[in-house]
Structure 1
Amino acid sequence: MASKNGISRRDEDEVCPVCKSSRYLNPNMRFLINPECYHKMCESCVDRIFSSGPSSCPVAGCRKTLRKNRFRAQTFEDIGVEREVDIRRRVMHILNRREEEFDSKRAYDDFLEQREEMIANLVCRTDVARTEAQLQRYATENMQSIRANQAIEEEEASSFQARMTLEQEEARLRRQLAREQIENERREIQAGREDMLSRLASGSSADAAAIAREGHKVLLKKSSARRSEEDRIRQKQAALRGSELKRSGLSASADMASSSGLIKGLRKIKTPEPEKPYDPFMGYVPEKRDYYTLQQSYPSVYLDRVKNDTRVAAGGYDLREYYARTMVEAFAGLGCFVEDEVAQRSVA
């Protein structure tokens, strides 16, 4: 993309806004940024302006005071992404509560949502003063828990690194063992062939079959011993991995309550109850009644005649429907309390 002066946008980005030096003329130029304002300038301008102490940003319109020790190389090409990553790292360094510190999964999710909202406020420059005041107050009142969680995170990172190192070493040993086994097998096969040929050359033709069977038995015995050795090495590696994980196991953090009121629900986490199977009828069972059980048949002279009459059944009539309707009408008033309904009606 070319500009009106014939200079590409990339070349414009590689020009120092202070001394106007370009990377095109000085390929070894190194640009630095400061998290206070994220204005990019060359390393020589940083040394020249900020070596004697803190000073204002030389970019026009920026009045922030910068220090030399805060300058660093830019990681991401987009300054907006660089700023968002720095803000997220700083907020998560302070609000570093863990899931096991909360009373429920819902409380932990609410904490994550609250943290993301504070990050969004700082990134979008919305209500920055209030958000910064909340972070500062929380960091002051919960310094002990913040340091404890930071220690746990460092321990987890070191444990993960040790685990990765152990797995890499085990993989290297397995590859080395496989190469050695392949080479030993090749040497054993070659030696067995040479020994068999020498014995066949020195023996008679009647001994050829016996020599071949003996050589085959020797190879089978060696392969069985090799498999036993592989199983022993595999068991040793599993025991080593178990002891390493047991040594690097992390203890659960104790209950820590926040006195700032910023985070809610900080208790020992509870295991959520398993979800019940989906019931589309909300517990309704068609054949279940509260006060009676519908029987297959009831004694009645009239009903017995109807039950045995094929003309009634031929029309599709089901006698159980009559039983069900009669029982519903008989027990319909058991759940109604007229006095309570009249009292409620009079109050309304």
Structure 2
Amino acid sequence: MASRNGVDRRDDDEVCPVCKSSRYLNPNMRFLINPECYHKMCESCVDRIFSSGPSSCPVAGCRKTLRKNRFRAQTFEDIGVEREVDIRRRVMHILNRREDEFDSKRNYDDFLEQREEIIANLVSRIDVAKTEAQLQAYASENMDSIRANQALEEEEASTFQARVTKEQEEARQRRQAERDRLDAERREMQAGREDFLSRLASGSSADAGKIAREGHKVLLKKSSARRSEEDRIRQKQAALRGSETKRTGTTLSSVEKSGDSGLIKGLRKIKTPEPEKPYDPFMGYVPEKRDYYTLKQSYPSGYLDRIRNDPQAQAGGYDLREYYSRTLLEAFAGLGVFVEEEVTRRDVSQAAATEGAAVAVEE
């Protein structure tokens, strides 16, 4: 559509509902809308009516209170599309749950359907008061998760934009490097041709074949070295891109998980992290603890009693508990049984056998 002074010709017949001015008579007229009621009026009327503060909409039948800072230029030609886009943006700004916050893909799909139903109700003006109340209640209850998801979206958008910018810069550098390479090849070929001609001019006809072969070898060596350098640079760039991709994947912060709200169902439950246990330098090892036996202070033994009561044997720091521990460890090593459990099961089986024998005798 042709334009005149930046104004679309299809808007020539627009008329301000307040001052009745037409763009046909004033081509520089600029119309503004307010998302409260989406009534269009010229910029001069907006300045005249709302500069002193909030006021009611001057359009007949509209009682919305409008503020000057909310007026903006219309983006879409159709006011209905403009209103739907604003509603969709506002609802998705509040209901910004992500797929990884739900227990299953089905629950996430239900959430998307519920969000579209809310948008459709607001666009079609169906149960507007009830829907707005639900949205406000949800926003006040889940402000932390909404802000966390907004921060994550901004982080992803900035990361994506940085990646796109970097790819564009790498493409530009590759194009520039290719142009430089072609220029270098042309210069080398020109220099080689001039050198070849000068050597031919100064030599004899018998040396022509030898000079040509030497020049060809020099060109092959230079091209091989250039290809090796290009392969090395290409591998280095690929490795850098791979490491950056891994780092980007790990730096994305996890979204705060929360349970079902009053509006959205199927969210993951809150899992309170377990408190960290105190640091154990021995990793759970207890020096005196054994799985198969309990070390006592002493055991009855005529030979060991003499050593226990002999000051000369104890003077060097000898401890009988070390002997007890080593002996019991060697005795129970490899058995894979607990003596207390074995004794308990033996006593139970003996008691059952005795009871059975007694019953048999009585019969």
Percent of pairs with identical residues: 85
User: Match for 2:102: what amino acid?
Assistant: F
User: Match for 2:233: what amino acid?
Assistant: I
Structure 1 residue runs of 4 or more that deviate by more than 6 Å after TM superposition? none
- Provide the rounded CA distance (Å) in 1 between the counterparts of 2:104 and 2:176: 48
What does the per-residue CA deviation read over 1:151-204, in whole Å, with 9 as the maximum and x for residues that have no partner?
000000000010011001101100100110110000000111111111111111
Q: Does the CA-based 8 Å contact 1:170-1:237 persist in structure 2?
A: no
- The SS at the match of 1:120 is helix
Q: So what's the TM-score if we normalise by structure 1? A: 0.72
- Provide the rounded CA distance (Å) in 2 between the counterparts of 1:19 and 1:258: 54
Structure 1 residue runs without a partner (length 5+): 1-7, 269-348
Larger radius of gyration: 2
- The SS at the match of 2:12 is helix
Name the CA shift for 1:252/1:109 in 2 (closer, same or farther; >3 Å).
farther
Structure 2 residue 72 is the aligned partner of structure 1 residue 80: no
Q: Does the CA-based 8 Å contact 2:259-2:268 persist in structure 1?
A: no
User: Match for 2:174: what amino acid?
Assistant: R
User: Match for 1:263: what amino acid?
Assistant: I
Q: So what's the TM-score if we normalise by structure 2? A: 0.69
Structure 2 residue 134 is the aligned partner of structure 1 residue 126: no
Aligned to 1:271: none
What does the per-residue CA deviation read over 1:216-238, in whole Å, with 9 as the maximum and x for residues that have no partner?
11111111111112112212322
Structure 2 residue runs without a partner (length 5+): 1-8, 270-363
What does the per-residue CA deviation read over 1:39-83, in whole Å, with 9 as the maximum and x for residues that have no partner?
011111101000111000001111110001110111000000000
Aligned to 1:262: 263
User: Match for 2:245: what amino acid?
Assistant: L
- The SS at the match of 2:32 is strand
- Provide the rounded CA distance (Å) in 2 between the counterparts of 1:60 and 1:189: 81
- Provide the rounded CA distance (Å) in 1 between the counterparts of 2:200 and 2:214: 12
Q: Does the CA-based 8 Å contact 2:16-2:41 persist in structure 1?
A: yes
What does the per-residue CA deviation read over 1:261-285, in whole Å, with 9 as the maximum and x for residues that have no partner?
21111128xxxxxxxxxxxxxxxxx
Q: Does the CA-based 8 Å contact 2:149-2:255 persist in structure 1?
A: no
Aligned to 1:11: 12
What does the per-residue CA deviation read over 1:84-121, in whole Å, with 9 as the maximum and x for residues that have no partner?
00000000000000001011110000000000000000
- The SS at the match of 1:248 is helix
Structure 2 residue 59 is the aligned partner of structure 1 residue 59: yes
Q: Does the CA-based 8 Å contact 1:96-1:150 persist in structure 2?
A: yes
Aligned to 1:172: 172
Name the CA shift for 1:108/1:252 in 2 (closer, same or farther; >3 Å).
farther
User: Match for 2:119: what amino acid?
Assistant: I
- Provide the rounded CA distance (Å) in 2 between the counterparts of 1:244 and 1:24: 57
- Provide the rounded CA distance (Å) in 1 between the counterparts of 2:212 and 2:197: 10
User: Match for 1:207: what amino acid?
Assistant: D
User: Match for 1:137: what amino acid?
Assistant: A
- Give the Å deviation of 1:247: 4.2
Name the CA shift for 1:62/1:257 in 2 (closer, same or farther; >3 Å).
same
Equivalences, count:
260
Mapping for residues 41-56 of structure 1, pairs under 5 Å: 41-56=41-56
- Give the Å deviation of 1:248: 3.4
Aligned to 1:102: 102
- Provide the rounded CA distance (Å) in 2 between the counterparts of 1:15 and 1:136: 37
- Provide the rounded CA distance (Å) in 2 between the counterparts of 1:105 and 1:266: 11
Question: Relative contact order, CA 8 A, sep 6+: which one is greater?
Answer: 1
- Provide the rounded CA distance (Å) in 1 between the counterparts of 2:223 and 2:64: 75
Aligned to 1:251: 252
User: Match for 1:248: what amino acid?
Assistant: T
- Provide the rounded CA distance (Å) in 1 between the counterparts of 2:194 and 2:142: 78
Alpha-carbon RMSD across the aligned residues, in angstroms, is: 1.6
- Provide the rounded CA distance (Å) in 2 between the counterparts of 1:252 and 1:25: 57
